[in-house]
Amino acid sequence: MQIIALHTRLRAGKEEDYDRIHAEIPDDLDIALRAAGVHGWRIWRSGRDLFHLVECDDYTRMRAYLREHPANVPWQARMAELLEVSDDYSGKEPEVKLVWELPELTK
């Protein structure tokens, strides 16, 4: 499984719209994401900056699967209205390598 980190940025004044739209993802998009091999997708927002953590089988394959998917095309069109920087994907795998984490306390 891959863990992918992405950064996007909202257009000024679109923060509330983005939060509202993401409060409920359409069922057909949820199904498409899972069919594309996505196991988890979390998004954090700090002001206009969005930080995504995607857990998937194969990020490149997932993007190809969703590119023309009928559930994803209208979603991406809607996101394009809200995003200033739609994707900082540079063509190479933005996979995140875990270097360190705070260990759990043992008693």
- Asked if residue 19 belongs to a domain, the reply is yes
Q: State the residue range of the domain holding 42.
A: 2-85
Give me the CATH number covering residue 49.
Answer: 3.30.70.1090
Cβ proximity of 57 and 15 under 8 Å: no
- Asked if residue 107 belongs to a domain, the reply is no
Per-residue pLDDT at 70: 98
- Give the residue with greater pLDDT, 57 vs 97: 57
pLDDT tens track for 27-85 = 999 999 999 999 999 999 999 999 999 999 999 999 999 999 999 999 999 999 999 97
Give the angle 90-37-101 at the CA atoms, nearest 5°: 70
Cβ proximity of 50 and 44 under 8 Å: yes
- Asked if residue 62 belongs to a domain, the reply is yes
For residue 15, give both structure tokens. 């923060």
- Asked if residue 21 belongs to a domain, the reply is yes
Give residue 95's identity as a one-letter amino acid code.
E
Average pLDDT over residues 80-99: 74
Per-residue pLDDT at 85: 77
Number of domains forming the structure of the chain: 1
Give the angle 33-35-38 at the CA atoms, nearest 5°: 50
- Asked if residue 96 belongs to a domain, the reply is no
- Asked if residue 61 belongs to a domain, the reply is yes
- Asked if residue 25 belongs to a domain, the reply is yes
What SS3 class is residue 82? helix
